């Protein structure tokens, strides 16, 4: 067990409000996206097993694109969109942390 101790500068930095609120925001943001997609997977599993006929319902009258295909396409694009949105938001928010001058870490 060789966990390096935090330097005084790092200790001060992690106690800063801006850092703490960033971590809190980020954890919640990640949890929301993950929970949404995991729910999609397991709800899809449960519905497809419990109400298989529902999977055959067309998304609009006379269409061959059924609810099951729509789910696959929706989940796939939702994942792509969420990944880019997450990456973009985190880049934006983390730049606030990175832009804090190193010296100011000691001024907390």
Partner 1 sequence: MFKIKQYSVVLAALCLFAFPVWAAQEVKVNYASIVTFLLFLVMTLIITAWAAKRTKSREDFYVAGGEITSLQNGFAIAGDTMSAASFLGLVGLIFMVGFDAFYFIISLVVSWIVVLLFIAERLRNLGSYTFADAVSYRLSSKPLRILSATCALAIMIPYLLSQIVAAGTLVEGLFGLQYSHGVIVIGVMMMIYVTFGGMMATTWVQIVKAVLLLGGGTILSVGILFLFNFDLDELIKSAITVHPRGIELLKSGGLYTDIISIISLSLAFIGGTAAMPHVLMRFFTVSDSSQARGSAVIAVSLVAYFQIVVLIVGLGAIVLLVDNADYSSGGLDIVGGSNMVGIHLARIVGGDVFMGFISAVAFATILAVVSGITLSAGATISHDLYSNVVLKEKCNETEEVWIARVTVVVLGTLGIYLAIIFEGQNIAVLATWPLAIGASTNFPLLIMSMYWKGFTTKGALMGGSAGLILAVSLLVMSPNIWVKVLGNSEPIFPYAYPTLFSMGVCFLFGWLFSVTDKTERARNERHMFKAQLVRSQLGG
| Interacting residues toward partner 1 by CB under 8 A | 1, 3-6, 10, 13-14, 23, 30, 33-34, 37-38, 40-42, 44-46, 48-50, 52-53, 55-56, 63-66, 68-69, 71-73, 75-77, 79-80, 82-84, 86-87, 90-91, 94
SS3 sequence, the chain?
CCCCCCCHHHHHHHHCHHHHHHHHHHHHHHHHHHHHHHHHHHHHHHHHHHCHHHHHCECCCCCCCEHHHHHHHHHHHHHHHHHHHHHHHHHHHHHHHHCCCHHHHHHC
Q: Which residues pair with 82 in a beta bridge?
A: none
**What is the smallest separation between the CB atom of 74 and partner 1, expressed in angstroms?**
10
Q: What minimum distance in Å lies between the beta carbon of 107 and partner 1?
A: 18
**Smallest gap, in angstroms, from Cβ of residue 106 to partner 1?**
16
**Taking the complex as a whole, how short is the minimal distance between the CB of residue 96 and partner 1, in angstroms?**
14
């Amino acid at each position: 067990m060789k966990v390096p101790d935090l330097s005084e500068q790092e200790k001060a930095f992690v106690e800063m409000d801006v850092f703490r609120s960033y971590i809190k925001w980020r954890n919640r943001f990640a949890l929301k996206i993950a929970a949404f997609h995991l729910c999609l997977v397991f709800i899809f599993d449960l519905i497809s097993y419990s109400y298989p006929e529902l999977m055959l319902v067309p998304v609009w009258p006379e269409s061959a694109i059924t609810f099951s295909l729509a789910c696959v396409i929706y989940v796939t694009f939702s994942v792509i969109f969420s990944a880019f949105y997450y990456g973009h938001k985190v880049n934006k928010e983390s730049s606030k942390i990175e832009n804090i001058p190193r010296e100011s870490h000691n001024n907390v």
